[in-house]
A and B are shown apart, each in its own frame.
Chain A
Amino acid sequence: MIALSQKQRRVFSQIALTAAAWSVAFIIFFPILWMVLTSFKTELEAFATPPSLFFSPTLENYQEVFGRSDYMHYAWNSVVISMGATLLGMLLAVPAAYAMAFYETKRTQSTLLWMLSTKMLPPVGVLVPIYLLFKESGLLDTRTGLILIYTLINLPIMVWMIYTYFKEIPKDILEACRMDGATLGQEISRVLLPMCKGGLASTVLLSLILCWNEAFWSLNLTAANAAPLTALIASYSSPEGLFWAKLSAVSTLACAPILIFGWISQKQLVRGLSFGAVK
């Protein structure tokens, strides 16, 4: 046996580590990769066994999708609805979290937990009541309606996240500010927001992701006007005939914006998405 020197051993373990990390990442990323690859195949290739790894890429699926549906219309709805719901949610969640974190009362804990438990109400159980409400108030198939619903769905989690970030700020710093006669506005803008930038940013990110991907209300409360990308997917899943490649193309199109957005902002997410769990 050849005795490995310390250095050799370190190099060896470095290589092993790199290989292991890359293979795990590849396995986890594979479904997405495969979806994108399939979107460039013809329908017959997409269904072929064994799967064709080498093929001449075609854009026909994308042409078909763009020809058949107004992708930009759906994408724009997704953007508006996700951003609207996130903005509205932040406007409601930040003050609530502020009050809960810095003026804690006996009931704060239970309010918070109660808020979280509303998240567990299965949406399908209240579909008909909501549908009737929306019909009466003319919110059916409007972006406003979806913005309202999404805000309400995500509010508990947003309040909770921001609450945990606020909790991390040493109370003494705030007290010091108040002693100095800082107004509430100054307190928020000069202390809270800078200190919790990361946390607030990741709350925004999480809300955007959840809104973008929501597929129950968006399907059931919209028709032609306000339908976001999740509804576009539903028009390509399992129609008659071969559909794998077209489905992959439309899925790629629907996920690409949020995926790229997520990639760009992942550093932020990694830093901020701690839920107060990391000291």
Chain B
Amino acid sequence: MSENNFKVVNKRLEKIDSLSLACGKPMFCDDIDIKNMLYGKIMFSPYPHAIIKNIDVSKALKVKGVKAVVTYKDVPRIPHTTAGQGYPEPSPYDTYMLDKKVRYVGDRVCAVAAETLEACEEAISKIEIDWEVLEAVFDPFKAMEGKIIIHDEDDSKNIPDAKHNIAAKVPDLVMLKNSEPFSEAEYVVENTYEIPYLQHCAIEPHTTITYLDDYDRLIIRSSTQVPFHVRRIVAQTLNIPLKKIRVIKPRIGGGFGSKQEILLEDICSFLTLKTKRPVKIEYTRKDVFVSSRTRHPAVTKLKTGVKKDGTITDMELDVTLNTGAYGSHALTVLMCSGSHTLPMYKVKNNLKFSGRSVYTNLPVAGAYRGYGATQAFFALESQMDIMAEKIGMDPVEFRKRNYIKLGESSPVFKAMGEGREGVDQSITSIGLMEAIDRGLKEIKWYEKKERYYRLNQKSEVKYGLGMACMMQGSGIAEIDMASATIKMNEDGSFNLLIGATDLGTGSDTILAQIAAETLGVELNDIIVYSSDTDITPFDVGAYASSTTFVSGGAVKKAAGYVRDMIIEDASKILKEPKENLKVESKYVVSKTGKKVSFKEIANTAFYYHDQHQIIASASHYGRTSPPPFAAHFAELSVNTRTGVVDIINYVACVDCGTAINPTLAEGQNDGAVVNGIGHTLSESFEISQNGTVLNANFRRYKILSTKDISEIKSIIIPTYEPEGPYGAKSVSEIGINGPLPAIANAIYDAVKIRLFKAPFTPDKVLKALKESK
């Protein structure tokens, strides 16, 4: 397609901030020194469920250097959600800046601002509290019984069933009913799959600095994925006018969803308003584990029906999510577990989704790369292999036969969006067949299967291969909006102002590539400035895999308008009709051979004639959310003496439409895959009897290191998505959905044991091996 003619898009250009970051430039939130700054520190709850009967901060206030100690009595009580989502947020308004009640070990109790961190810590140690300790509940199924109610306050809003601790629910959603359920199925498979508490582990902890500028406006400098949502929600929770707030996002050290949240900005701002001084709150690594956000632990029940000829007749997915003490993202993650997975395969007769997100007195779950799809694909893709074996069909053929093809649609698209009804769409680009075939070839699937079958007969270490197919979305259709402004400078360079949030993903770079392609210039002719609520136009922020598809769409539009203005001016300068003209390499060239440079056009516009600034803004939102698709292949060994699983080879082939920058797309995929492998083999919270996270540090919650990965290969399968800028779809989330099922399938291939509970640690594997004998 047209990708062969791209000059900037689809090129492996260096990310514009790479070299500066490699030279250690001070670009992150905490890398500035502000005069007169105070340190802020939050006191966290030692109890999983308790009421503050009395809180006495008088001794704390007397500590040298302490400038403020605030409790629930000092702050406005405004129910809100911390979820960084578009307004009106589809999450319950069940959170308060500070409350009289605490609902998990790690919940906010009160906050201190002081000259030094030591003074903060000393002040916190001197706060005296009379607690009424309440009984706590940690298991979602128990919580649903309603004996202990976590949100019994009467001012919270949008909680579907607080009496039974239900933060969100989707009652039986029947999307297809052509027969009596399972009546035509020749085999019925029903299993339950579980994943535990998992944390994003972005290497930069959450950090926020707030201060008042010379106009007494509140400036928030924060490591956030959602600057515009921060502005709105801080205005809401502090009850101050939105126009008094400016949010600036510096470079962020990773987010993966944990920073799609208004976590520190409200309380930090409050301390600044109270003390009239700059305040910095920086989470420790332990705070990040316990008191930021996590993935939703899930119990996923999948019941499917299949016929010998390979037809999937019925599919019933039921998801129970543990949302922790507050319902941030409770509904949307729940819905995505269905909306981003169920369209994957054609189901003949019956398709049903049901689910609920349940409150417990545990750390709060929120947005995490994959967003529900990760949990559900573990179930779906494991079950595809189970069904294939039941009917005696090659699991590769079984998937190829059944996945949704180009031009086809699914009733899921209309029925399930993210938080509300979705948008009907059909598949407008898909490279899954090529992804599967390429992956099979790359990992030498059939050749190795044969070799391992023989080898495994006599070896203590057994080898296996497994695969998984997956999809995600590209932004939230009809909801996510982005905008961009582009202005021309007299040397032919351009300023690109975008609300879009680069969290290390490289969105600044790829959006500049899109602008450069449209304008006929080079990447380094585009000067990018992003994520400043005063200066850049609106963007929902970095989530839902929306930046390339939605923000890219806005940038392409704005660049198109600017290009039109340039051509308009050139037409007057060259005295040629516009139809003859096009942009090329910083010139406007005519069919007739005449040309004029951008420099001359801009100077003419600024200084000489009919003076004006060449500038344009545009907005964009997706009418659809075209899914990226991927096929993953895992080759591993299982040591039957120790239960240790070692990944030998992992191939991830992804169709993301046009990869605006193939190096960055591969990088996103690599990172998502390794993160997913970490989920599969190592990561999980360890929680005590009283709801305390016991392994809240990198020493005990182990993410993978260089020694844990052997061969990881990401392969981009090019397709062209007509709805996306230059054919692009999204890529940043999908990769994390593959490892759990691909590895579960490979383990089954190696040792014929089926694991249903992540992570697949040596003790679990060895136990399953022993029980199977």
Say whether A and B bind each other.
no
- Name A's B-contacting residues (CB within 8 A): none
- Name B's A-contacting residues (CB within 8 A): none
